[in-house]
Structure 1
Amino acid sequence: MRTGEGLSGFDWPETYRDFDIAILRDGTWTYQGDPIRRHKLCQLFATVLQRDEAGQYWLVTPGERGHITVEDAPFTAVEMREDHDEQGRKTLSFRTNLDYWVTAGEGHAIRVTENPETGEPAPYIEVRDGLDALILRPIFYDLVARAEEIPVSGGIALEIESAGSRFCLGRVPEAAAD
């Protein structure tokens, strides 16, 4: 199983440029507006992908760095599987569009925000170093179907557990829960 760890831990070069690379909301990498069709090249770029404190995305090597544009998240979660770890706890692992696997748990949180444009839930899992994968809708529906309903004031919370960590997928108001 490839985990997609990145190259990091070194000082960033002072000078930079714009690489004219973008990652679209559906996970497609583009160069000068055209899709990058070589999957292995995108996987290579992903290993040097970093995000700064201001939320900007960069491809960074010890020799150079370049700014890139990310529409939503740099990865998409395209597959999920349930398993158990060595302690017998349930685990949920996600495969990204670049064929890296990440297991939800400590350090790899699932979070759900609201899309400001549509009001729909926007679910993510942290892959590494503040880099997220947008969980695609069919995978999110599967997560919701597996969620436990927890009574809370004014309704229910939908929670999912993985590797000993619990994550809230959203809340349903009491009137809607009936």
Structure 2
Amino acid sequence: MTDKLEQLIAHYVSAHSPTERWQAGECGVGTFLIDGAGRWFHQGDEIKRLTLVRLFASVLSCEQGEYTLKTPSETCAVTVEESPFIIVAWHVSEVAQQYDLEPTIICEDNLGRLWPICKAFPLYMAEYKDQQVPHLQLNYGLCARIERNVYYQWAEIAKYNEQRQSMTLHSAGQAYELT
């Protein structure tokens, strides 16, 4: 990855705890669930404090399809119904040009965190409710589903390839097929 792209990522992406370095035992604090709408639950009760959800998100990781909250002293399993995060808004980066980068789309997830669509955080298609839907690959094995209204907005700016009958979205010098 180029230094310029790394600088852009550092400008937007929130720090995540170094969970890959922690190897703690299982905790016994009950069940955690992230539902299909991106809401977090503990023992069946919704966690409504956004700061607490952001804290949990900073220690969430996914390894071999298993989601866990990891701290230096304990590891808790998390059930995720679809994807842990949802992209709810987007804009074109105002600072990408400062780093001599091509126009870059910045996604905002349901926790207010920002993610540039680029080589480090690429778009990919995955099934959701029996349809292929774009998702954004995040760090630590995590992903975010692209909300329908964001997808429709992207469809308006995507380039249509008549021969392939597909739409392509461009960000940070990369092309991503939306269909």
For the superposition of Structure 1 and Structure 2, which TM-score range results when normalised by the shorter chain? 0.7 to 0.9
- In the alignment, what sits opposite 1:103? 116
- In the alignment, what sits opposite 1:63? 73
- In the alignment, what sits opposite 2:149? 138
- In the alignment, what sits opposite 1:77? 87
- In the alignment, what sits opposite 1:124? 135
Aligned pairs for 1:7-46 (under 5 A) are 7-8=17-18, 9-17=20-28, 19-46=30-57
One-letter code aligned to 2:161? I
One-letter code aligned to 2:109? T
Distance 1:38 1:2 in 2: 23
Shift of 1:145: 1.4
Shift of 1:149: 1.2
**The residue matched to 1:59 in structure 2 has which SS?**
strand
Distance 2:135 2:28 in 1: 29
**The residue matched to 1:161 in structure 2 has which SS?**
strand
Provide the identity percentage. 25
Aligned residues: 165
**The residue matched to 2:21 in structure 1 has which SS?**
coil
One-letter code aligned to 1:3? V
Cα deviation digits, residues 121-156 of structure 1 (max 9, x gap): 32211221221111110001111111111244xx42
Q: Which moved more, 1:1-10 or 1:72-81?
A: 1-10
TM-score norm. by structure 2 comes to 0.84
**The residue matched to 1:107 in structure 2 has which SS?**
coil
Distance 1:137 1:73 in 2: 14
When you count strand as a share of all residues, which structure comes out higher? 1
Shift of 1:90: 1.0
Distance 1:97 1:114 in 2: 20
**The residue matched to 2:151 in structure 1 has which SS?**
helix
One-letter code aligned to 2:83? A
Aligned pairs for 1:147-166 (under 5 A) are 147-152=158-163, 155-166=164-175
Shift of 1:2: 5.6
When you count helix as a share of all residues, which structure comes out higher? 2
- In the alignment, what sits opposite 2:176? 167
Shift of 1:18: 6.6
Shift of 1:29: 0.6
Note closer, same or farther for the CA distance 1:166–1:92 as it changes in structure 2 (3 Å cut). same
Pairwise CA RMSD: 1.8
Any conservation in 2 of the 1:5–1:128 contact (CA below 8 Å)? no
- In the alignment, what sits opposite 1:176? none
Distance 2:149 2:126 in 1: 17
